Amino acid sequence: MAEHLRAHSAEPSASGGAAYGRGAAVLSVGIGATGLITFAYFSLASHSLPEDDYGGITLLWSAVFITVSVLYRPVEQLLSRTIADRDARGVQGTEHLRVAGTIQLALGVLFAVGALALRGPLQDELFNGSETLYWVLIVTVLAYAASYFARGYLAGHRRFGLYGGLVLMEASSRCLFALLVAFGVAEGQSFVALGMAAAPIVSLAVVPPALARRERRGHRAESGAEGPSLDALDAAARDEPAAKEPQFTLAHGAGFAAAVLLIMLCEQTFLNAGPLLVKAGDGARGAALAGFAFNVLLIARAPLQLFQAVQTSILPHLTRLSAGGESDPFRRSVNLTLMAIAAFAAAVALVMLAAGPFAMELVFGGDTEYDRLGLVLVSIGMGLYLSAATLNQALLARARARTAAACWLATAAGFVAFLLAPRFDDRVLQVEAGFLGAALLLAGLLYSFYRRG
């Protein structure tokens, strides 16, 4: 009996690995298409609006997505990990949903209070007095609270097709507003901006099918159609009672979410501190150099968009393996992901070495010459950074969010200190070298704790 159960319990590992691969592939297609549609949104808006109005749209976009990434991704990650862990252990109940909902609601209220208190600076200084853009900011950020909650729910249950549908529907509905302006059906900055607020609300249409399927599975489980969990069968084979799981509390959920929130803040520091500090420290040349540094770091930013598919699918996958004590499949999944990242980063570095300056000038134009060595440094740093993000998900799957957050905080602080230190003659090269060094340190720290697992 015990041998049969062990043989049977090995089946989820193989099917889980296949599900992870399929999930990453489906999400890659969905997120890739989303990126193209988002590019179309900005292209249409750029051609349809005056330059100043288009600038307001880009500022609104930046404010929205930096805010929601920092505030709401922690709850998405919390739900993804917790649902996968509980499903793997056969734990029933909905307290984890209540805890995550409470945290998300609190974060939304915190944002609303802060945004209302800072209405003057936001409306007058950031949006040049536009009341419409200010209110679109508030409505959009609050709407994304529900969207990111749904993303975490779908990822935890491995509903990656619906997850991809959600982000694709979000981008498509947003783009429709810019398309209507481009064809003259509507007009103005305000209508284009309203697309940002409508997008997360419309995208929630994918949630009812997910809930309906979950309810059908619940009815089958109650009728015994799905049978007992493997954990319960294994315990019965050993004549032992199934282990009673501790209740999922608000303190537990808030601790995990707070650690991930710190990680999100550090992530924004890695991606935005360089251009911002270059702009702040170089007077009249600062704006031009900041834009130049921003363009260079797009070598790291662009792959991160597609890597979201891997991040989203690998966390519930690794969590299930960790909950089942399947250490070998766990390590294989991480190692295969790291190998794929290394191959991708090597290919990008070779392209940058061969034709980097020409490609950057072709894409971005301008009179500034891009340094070949700097582009290669950022390409290598991108590979290390994506590797660190993978190792971060492995630590989150093992419930070591605080350890991961400490690594991110230490490295982000070192990165900022390096940028504030006596400056290089070439400020952009300083950003490039700092990014590579910080990515190497971050990956090394996370790997050391991952190995101890």
**99-126 average pLDDT score:** 94
- Residue for token pair 């971050």: 442
First-to-last CA distance in the chain?
31
- Residue for token pair 């509507």: 186
For residue 12, being part of any structural domain is answered with no
Q: Of 108-117, 230-239, 413-422, where does the model show the most confidence? A: 108-117
Which pLDDT belongs to residue 426? 79
Please check whether residues 272 and 241 belong to one and the same domain: no
Phi, psi of 371 (to 5 degrees): -80, 125
Range of lowest pLDDT (18-22, 55-59, 62-66, 253-257): 18-22
If we measure between CA atoms, which residue out of 278, 282, 274, 276 comes closest to residue 300? 274
Does residue 242 surpass a pLDDT of 50?
no
For residue 3, being part of any structural domain is answered with no
Which pLDDT belongs to residue 21? 65
Of 248, 270, 298, the last residue of a domain is: 248
Which pLDDT belongs to residue 234? 46
> CA geometry: angle at 262 spanning 260 and 265, to 5°?
115
Q: Of 41-45, 204-208, 249-253, 415-419, where does the model show the most confidence? A: 415-419
pLDDT tens per residue across span 148-199: 999 999 999 988 888 988 999 999 999 999 999 999 898 899 999 999 999 9
Q: Of 54-68, 203-217, 380-394, where does the model show the most confidence? A: 380-394
Range of lowest pLDDT (101-115, 141-155, 352-366, 386-400): 352-366
Please check whether residues 145 and 95 belong to one and the same domain: yes
Token pair recorded at residue 44 = 């249409």
Please check whether residues 189 and 287 belong to one and the same domain: no
The whole domain housing 58 covers 19-248
**What is the rounded average pLDDT for all residues in the chain?**
83
Token pair recorded at residue 271 = 């991606």
Does residue 135 surpass a pLDDT of 90?
yes
For residue 6, being part of any structural domain is answered with no
Contact 156, 115 (CB under 8 A): no
Please check whether residues 192 and 296 belong to one and the same domain: no
Please check whether residues 321 and 176 belong to one and the same domain: no
Q: Higher model confidence: residue 171 or residue 215?
A: 171
Q: Of 65-74, 323-332, 439-448, where does the model show the most confidence? A: 439-448
User: Could you give the dihedral angle defined by the CA atoms of residues 125, 130, 133 and 139, in that order, rounded to the nearest 10 degrees?
Assistant: 100
Measured from the Cβ of residue 376, the count of other Cβ atoms closer than 10 Å reads 20
For residue 253, being part of any structural domain is answered with no
What kind and span of H or E run contains 399? none
Which pLDDT belongs to residue 274? 81
Q: Assign 318 a pLDDT band (cuts: 50, 70, 90).
A: very high
Range of lowest pLDDT (123-137, 230-244, 265-279): 230-244
Please check whether residues 244 and 281 belong to one and the same domain: no
Token pair recorded at residue 333 = 């999944």
Rounded percentage of the chain residues whose pLDDT exceeds 70 = 82
Whole-angstrom Cα distance, residue 424 to residue 318? 42
Please check whether residues 225 and 365 belong to one and the same domain: no
Token pair recorded at residue 413 = 């602080």
Measured from the Cβ of residue 254, the count of other Cβ atoms closer than 10 Å reads 18
Please check whether residues 217 and 354 belong to one and the same domain: no
Please check whether residues 401 and 318 belong to one and the same domain: yes
Please check whether residues 81 and 193 belong to one and the same domain: yes
For residue 171, being part of any structural domain is answered with yes
Does residue 115 surpass a pLDDT of 50?
yes
Residue 175's alpha-carbon distances to 60, 138, 295, in angstroms, are 15, 20, 24
Which pLDDT belongs to residue 11? 42
If we measure between CA atoms, which residue out of 216, 245, 206, 215 comes closest to residue 229? 245
Residue 185: helix, strand or coil by DSSP?
coil
Whole-angstrom Cα distance, residue 166 to residue 268? 24
Count structural domains, the chain.
2
Q: Determine the angle formed by the axes of helices 207-222 and 160-182, rounding to 10 degrees.
A: 160
Please check whether residues 145 and 263 belong to one and the same domain: no
Of 226, 248, 270, the last residue of a domain is: 248
**314-333 average pLDDT score:** 91
pLDDT tens per residue across span 328-379: 999 999 999 999 999 999 999 999 999 988 888 876 666 667 888 989 999 9
Whole-angstrom Cα distance, residue 432 to residue 370? 12
Q: Which amino acid is at 38?
A: T
Does residue 301 surpass a pLDDT of 60?
yes
Of 198, 222, 248, the last residue of a domain is: 248
Rounded percentage of the chain residues whose pLDDT exceeds 90 = 49
* Cβ neighbourhood burial of 2 (10 Å; 0-12, 13-18, 19+): exposed
Which pLDDT belongs to residue 236? 42
Does residue 272 surpass a pLDDT of 60?
yes
Q: Assign 299 a pLDDT band (cuts: 50, 70, 90).
A: confident
Contact 431, 293 (CB under 8 A): yes
Please check whether residues 298 and 328 belong to one and the same domain: yes
For residue 239, being part of any structural domain is answered with yes
Whole-angstrom Cα distance, residue 34 to residue 200? 13
Contact 439, 388 (CB under 8 A): yes
Phi, psi of 238 (to 5 degrees): -95, 5
For residue 30, being part of any structural domain is answered with yes
Which pLDDT belongs to residue 240? 43
Does residue 238 surpass a pLDDT of 50?
no
**17-25 average pLDDT score:** 65
Does residue 227 surpass a pLDDT of 80?
no
Residue 377's alpha-carbon distances to 61, 374, 383, in angstroms, are 29, 5, 10
For residue 2, being part of any structural domain is answered with no
Does residue 84 surpass a pLDDT of 90?
yes
